[in-house]
């Protein structure tokens, strides 16, 4: 990938996206994808599954989500309650 690079690294307290050698912390899936969208570039994201904390590898290319975990986002709260507890996002 050319230009900006983004990678959310596995951390005890959540993902940490990286772009242009800088690090950004994302506390939820929405934020992790939002950083990639705000940078308007391709992205490599690493997060973890809530069920067993195993790694989940994703990518954003051309504005589309891809990678082995593409489309596996689980939001246990309905959208109308999205701000009730952001930990579940």
For the chain, the three-class secondary structure string (H helix, E strand, C coil) is CCCCCCCCECCCCCEECEECCEECCECCHHHHHHHHHHHCCCEEEEEECCCCCCEEEEEEECCEEECCCCCCCCCCCCHHHCCCCHHHC
Compute the average pLDDT of residues 53-62: 80
pLDDT digits (tens, 9 = 90+) for 67-84: 776 666 666 777 777 777
pLDDT digits (tens, 9 = 90+) for 4-18: 334 444 444 555 554
Q: What is the pLDDT of residues 16-56, one digit of tens each?
A: 554 455 566 677 777 777 877 887 777 777 777 777 878 87
């Amino acid at each position: 990938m050319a230009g900006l690079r983004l990678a959310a690294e596995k951390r005890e307290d959540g993902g940490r996206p990286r772009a242009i050698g800088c690090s950004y912390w994302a506390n939820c899936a929405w934020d992790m994808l939002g950083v990639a969208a705000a940078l308007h570039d391709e992205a490599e994201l690493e997060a973890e599954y809530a069920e067993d904390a195993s790694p989940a590898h994703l990518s954003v290319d051309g504005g589309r989500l891809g990678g082995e975990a593409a489309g596996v986002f689980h939001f246990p709260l309905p959208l109308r309650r999205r701000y009730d507890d952001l930990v579940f996002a």
